[in-house]
Amino acid sequence: MTLRHSHGWTMLEVLIVLVIAMVLAALSYPSYSQFVIRSKRVEGQAALQLLMQQQERYFSANNRYIAFSSASAGEAERRFKWWSGASAARSAYEIEAQACDGESIESCVQLIATPGTARVDRHYEDDECGRLILTSTGLRLATGRGARCWH
């Protein structure tokens, strides 16, 4: 009787392993992409809260809020960071400040974080929440179809 030693994998074994790996990847990808969206949404919310604190300090010193955007050229406006992350290119949101609807900038400011613009990561999308809005009156809004965008 001759013993035969195997020195590798059969094609069938390799295909079975590949099919199992593809099924696991297909099952885990949606969870991973939802995790990425939620973490970038938290990045935007944190940036809005930090900017609102900066706006309140500005209000204390100047008795008014200040509007700003990525196109702002004034020295005072440029002190406010218009992106949500560590750098503009790697950020998920572009942020602007403007007067609250129906009010003047002297009495109320709203910060608006818009996902995936040309000045930040244009590939990022958040269809569930859309734009995130934080006002100086404490109102937290989102323009998307999701009901639980601010936790």
pLDDT of residue 31: 83
88 found inside a domain: yes
- Residue at 23 is within a domain: yes
Residue 19 lies inside a defined structural domain of this protein: yes
Read off the pLDDT band of 3 (50, 70, 90).
Answer: low
Confirm if 97 and 87 have CB atoms less than 8 A apart: no
Task: Confirm whether 42 is domain-assigned.
Answer: yes
Answer yes or no: is 137 within a domain: yes
* pLDDT at residue number 33: 86
- Residue 6 in any domain: the answer is no
- Nearest C-alpha neighbor of 93 from the set 54, 66, 132, 128: 132
Residue 126 lies in a domain: yes
Tell me how many degrees the CA angle 52-117-78 measures, rounded to the nearest 5. Answer: 45
Contacts of 107 (CB under 8 A, 6+ apart): 65, 100
Q: Is residue 2 part of a domain?
A: no
Report the half-sphere exposure of 40 (CA within 13 A, side-chain side). Answer: 27
Cβ–Cβ < 8 Å for 111, 51: yes
Q: How confident is the model at residue 90 (pLDDT cuts 50, 70, 90)?
A: very high
Q: Total structural domains in the chain?
A: 1
Statement: the pTM of the whole predicted model exceeds 0.75: yes
Containing domain of residue 113, as a range?
Answer: 13-142
CA distance 111 to 84: 12
Q: How far apart are CA 138 and CA 120, in angstroms?
A: 26
